[in-house]
Amino acid sequence: MAMAASAKNRNARLPPEVNRVLFVRNLPFNITSEEMYDIFGKYGAIRQIRLGEKDTRGTAFVVYEDIFDAKAACDHLNGFNVMGRYLIVLYYQPNKVTKKMNLQKKEEELKELKR
């Protein structure tokens, strides 16, 4: 019965923003990668976890092997309390990052032209 439900769930269409990479914000600065594996590993096999350093402390990227595991983790861990902080778990969207970088580059070029 459970296998039939999970197979049916796997055939469901996912929203376009769902992917295997999660961006996690509002992490405690002293969290370790082992603690991250303990928290996020409950939802499926993890390929990689990258914790932020220096300027990006309190953030992390979590890469799952399967997109459905990433969706389950995002659904369940968004708002989860870790060491007195509530996690913000989002899907990584590279298009937004590149658009922001392109906008900054265009602003720099515009400043250069004004000189």
Q: Which secondary-structure segment (H or E) carries 108?
A: helix 94-114
The dihedral formed by the CA atoms of 99, 105, 106 and 111, expressed in degrees to the nearest 10? 150
Which tens digits make up the pLDDT trace of 6-49? 544 566 677 767 889 999 999 999 999 999 999 999 999 999 99
Single pTM value for the model? 0.72
78 touches 24 (CB < 8 A): no
Query: What CATH number was assigned to the domain covering residues 17-114?
Result: 3.30.70.330
Can you name the residues that pair with 59 across neighbouring β-strands?
A: none
Nearest to 72 by CA among 82, 81, 58, 62: 62
Tell me the C-alpha distance between 77 and 81, whole Å: 9
Tell me the C-alpha distance between 73 and 97, whole Å: 22
Task: Give the mean model confidence (pLDDT) for residues 62-70.
Answer: 93
Which tens digits make up the pLDDT trace of 25-37? 999 999 999 999 9
Nearest to 37 by CA among 81, 73, 85: 73
